[in-house]
Amino acid sequence: MARFVVARQLGGKRSITTTGKEIGRLDDIIVDEATGEMESIVVEPDAETAEDVRFSKDSSGDFIIPFKAVRAISDVIVVEETPVPMVAPQVASAPGMRRYQRMVRDAQE
C-alpha cells in the first residue's frame, strides 16, 4: 500500500538537471515487473526548455530518463544532465516499455 502512496506523491513533480535546467514534469515511472526495480522515469517536457535537454524520447515526445540518472527526489526530481546514454533500441527494449507504449497508445485513442 505504501508504494502507491509514494507513486501518487511523485506524479507531476517538476524535474530539473543538476545544473538547474528545467526538464518538465514527471508523468510516469517504468518499473521492471520481475524485480520491482525502477528502470526509468517518464517526463513530460517543458515546452520552453525541451529543446535544450538531451534525453531519449518515446513515441509521444516524453523524455525517458534512466533511473540511474536520478540524483535526488524532494520538492523536485534532480537528474544528472549527462546520464547513462540510452539509444532508441535500448529505450524500446527497456523492461516495461512495451506495456508503457500500449498505455500511451490506448490513452491517445
pLDDT digits (tens, 9 = 90+) for 16-33: 888 888 889 998 888 888
**What pLDDT is recorded for position 2?**
44
Contact of 38 with 29, CB cutoff 8 Å: yes
Rounded Cα gap, residues 42 and 63, in angstroms: 6
Q: What is the pTM of this model?
A: 0.67
The full set of domains in the chain, from first to last, is 2-108 (2.30.30.240)
